[in-house]
Chain A
Amino acid sequence: MSQYKIIFTGPVGAGKTTAIQSISDIAPIKTDAAASDMTKSRKAGTTVAMDYGVMNLAGGEKLHLYGTPGQERFDFMWDILTSGGIGLILLLDNTRTDPFQDMKFFLEAFSDFIEKTQVAIGVTQMDLSSRPVINDYHKKLKEMDMNIPVFTVDARVKNDVSLLIQALLYSLDPGLEA
């Protein structure tokens, strides 16, 4: 049976682990550890290998949900994780000093994968920092010649994460019928 997966990526603290937890049918397998580096200033624990969740589909197939570790020193894992993936969810933390730089970094880092599939962006923590607004992200994306879904997301809310994934899937094929 084929293995299908969606990859969740983004900087430390953007909500990847929480987003997977929101939609997974199993208790997600987390590989968090106490942060000992600069990450400590953003959250006490951080993902050091990857997060893993599963959605059980009709017909017995499974959709695997993988969260990449946010820290760049683990970027050697990203290629392995994306292999066979059907799309990328990029979560960005709006309270970070320069979320646009984060966006550019991750879009470039995953550019080969995105070219073959699609990407959708969820901006988290907008209730804590309302600026930049979603339009600002679109402006930056236009400069990169990209027109992709960018949604406000509360990673704890299943509906937000679900809509983001649906946008990713419909970007792959608007003709899909539920």
Chain B
Amino acid sequence: MLKKSTKETLKVVLSGMDERTRKTLTLYLHGPCKAAGVTIVDFLEADLEIIDADLREGRLLLSKRFSETLHRPLIVLSLQEISREGVFYIKKPVQVESMLAALDKIRTQLRQLQQNRSIASAKPGLLKEKESSTNSRTSPITNHQVSEPTKKQLEVDASERNKSAKHQTAMQLSDKGFSVLSAGLEPLDINNIEQLKRAAYNPKEYFQGFVQSAIKVAKDRDQVLQLHTGWKLMLILPRSNEIWLDADDKQLRAFSGLAINKNSSKKMSISWPDPKLILNGALDKFQNMEAIVWKLACWTSKGRYPRHIDIERPVYLKQWPNLTRLVVTPHALRIAALLIDKPVAPIKIAGLLHIKPEYVFVFISAASALGLLKQSDRNADCDILPPELKPNRNKSLLSRIIDKLRVNKLNGLDSNEPI
């Protein structure tokens, strides 16, 4: 009979598994393995990761892990032998002895790593060396701190997180609210093509560009990252598709509207989060990643369009944005429905829908920031477009239903303020 382990329990994250396998393995670690490991949900918090390589999801994840630097010990369960440096292979059917032996080795390894880190932190030069070898390949943002925190305190109970603002229904921006947002910018004249062409901005010159760039790095590396801006603390959590931001919407709107000069942009960097960071109790600051990027794009755009889009060539939507969880800009649903139906040049959308060009541009800025908007190669799509849309035979009825639904909106959801 196995003795009850008196050693420290390791925190294990189970990846690439279906619910049933996950539950079985959780019980296995708790029971036969005498709680040598306890499963947790948050990747960031885990001491090690276990992947079942015989499952499709697990196989895909494993090849991803093999293509990058491993940041935590990895146990691979499989019928087929897998030999790779730094990976602990356990042949199926998994024996308790094999699992305990692997966990023991990992425990020793982690202890050793912690000791090395203590030495490294006493010698800043060591970190500097590491910094230059791991600079970001994909981002203009620089890494300046690469050591992984030894004790992270970022985990928040999953059920608690469900109470946070990220599940709130969409805020709707009325025409008046939009006017406040775009105050200071010259109103656009739909018939002045040259003026419309000038109404462009470069997202990379604003906070929006830096956030998008940091998200890309975090997703590529599958790591939690902190974006240093000299402003408010921002953490990017790619696995849960969330951003933790220590600022409210008003503060974010003000900051996102300011162009970032070259001196300030040099101060922008990403790193592992500060290990001493405690986020507990700040659940309202977790936001869905898409929702925050969409907002940022709206507030940066203020009715202008991103420079990389040619407004004379047709664009289309790959799919509907999840508009119940995003800021609903004026006429967003109509623009979305049109661009799902057929590619249309942005310069023509306002005329077709009889709306202000600013409403079109703010929408395409936000949709483009989420990667939902594509430029069509088919110029012909634009040429064949009729000057007016063919109305539905029930148009009058449908309009009255829309009227009713808009009147029905809950107080406070239709914002005259740009949030």
Contacts and interface: CB of A to CB of B under 8 A. Distances in A.
Interface of A: 2, 4, 23, 55-59, 61, 63, 86, 122, 126-128, 133-135, 138, 147-154, 157-160, 162-167, 169-178
Interface in B295-338: 319-320, 322-325, 328, 333-338
26 contacts: A4-B394, A23-B405, A57-B404, A59-B400, A61-B400, A63-B401, A149-B336, A150-B320, A159-B324, A159-B409, A159-B413, A163-B323, A166-B333, A166-B405, A166-B406, A167-B320, A170-B334, A170-B337, A171-B340, A172-B392, A174-B335, A174-B337, A175-B334, A175-B389, A177-B354, A178-B402
B333 A151 contact: no
A138 B395 CA distance: 28
A147 B337 CA distance: 10
Interface stretch (B76-84, B140-148, B162-170): B162-170
Contacts of B337: 167, 170-171, 174
Given A167-B320, A170-B402, A176-B398, 11 more contacts: A23-B405, A57-B403, A63-B401, A152-B325, A153-B324, A158-B409, A158-B410, A169-B402, A173-B398, A175-B390, A177-B399
Nearest to B402: A178
Identify the 6 closest CB pairs spanning chains A and B, nearest first: A173-B392, A175-B389, A170-B337, A174-B337, A174-B338, A151-B324
Given A152-B322, A170-B333, A57 B400 contact: yes
Interface of B: 162, 167, 169-170, 172, 241, 319-320, 322-325, 328, 333-338, 340-341, 352-354, 388-392, 394-395, 397-406, 408-410, 413
A25 to B, nearest CB: 9
A124 B28 CA distance: 33
B170 A163 contact: yes
A146 to B, nearest CB: 10
Given A127-B167, A160-B169, A167-B337, A151 B403 contact: no
Given A61-B397, A61-B400, A175-B391, A138 B319 contact: yes
B403 A178 contact: yes
Contacts of A154: 167, 169
Contacts of A164: 324
Nearest to B405: A162
A133, A150, A170, A177 — which one has the most chain B CB atoms within 10 A of its CB?
A170
Contacts of B354: 177
Contacts of B401: 55, 57, 63, 165, 169
B211 to A, nearest CB: 20
Contacts of A4: 394, 397
A170 B336 contact: yes
Contact of A163 (B167, B328, B394, B395): B328
A169 B398 contact: yes
A58 B333 contact: no
A175 B353 contact: yes
A133 B291 CA distance: 14
A148 B247 CA distance: 34
B394 A162 contact: no
Contacts of B320: 138, 147-151, 167
Given A133-B241, A151-B324, A167-B336, A176 B402 contact: yes
A138 B320 CA distance: 9
Nearest to A120: B320
Contacts of A157: 169, 410
